[in-house]
């Protein structure tokens, strides 16, 4: 069976799970329930806005 990596939370990719192992990378809050349930694995990506704000806060305190 084929493995596919999808960088999207769109439910349009659910049908791929019928023919391949689908590994999903998506932002929190942007992953459809249907895709989450159909995926072989799910990795939630960090929110870069939060990481950037934390880095700025750390630099200001240094």
pLDDT in tens, 3-62: 999 999 999 999 999 899 999 999 989 999 999 999 999 999 987 777 777 888 888 875
Other Cβ atoms closer than 10 A to 13: 18
Output the pLDDT for position 41.
98
CATH number of 3-61: 3.40.50.1010
Which residues on neighbouring strands pair with residue 22, listed in sequence order?
4
Per-residue DSSP letters for 1-62?
-EEEEEE---GGGGGGGGTEEEEEEE-TT---HHHHHH-SEEEEPP-HHHHHHHHHHHHHH-
Asked if residue 2 has pLDDT above 70, the reply is yes
Q: What integer pLDDT is reported at residue 10 of this predicted model?
A: 96
């Amino acid at each position: 069976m084929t493995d596919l990596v999808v960088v999207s939370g769109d439910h349009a990719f659910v049908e791929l799970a019928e023919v391949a192992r689908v590994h999903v990378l998506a932002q929190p809050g942007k992953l459809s329930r249907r895709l989450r349930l159909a995926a072989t694995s799910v990795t939630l990506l960090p929110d870069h806005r939060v990481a950037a704000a934390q880095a700025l806060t750390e630099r200001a305190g240094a």
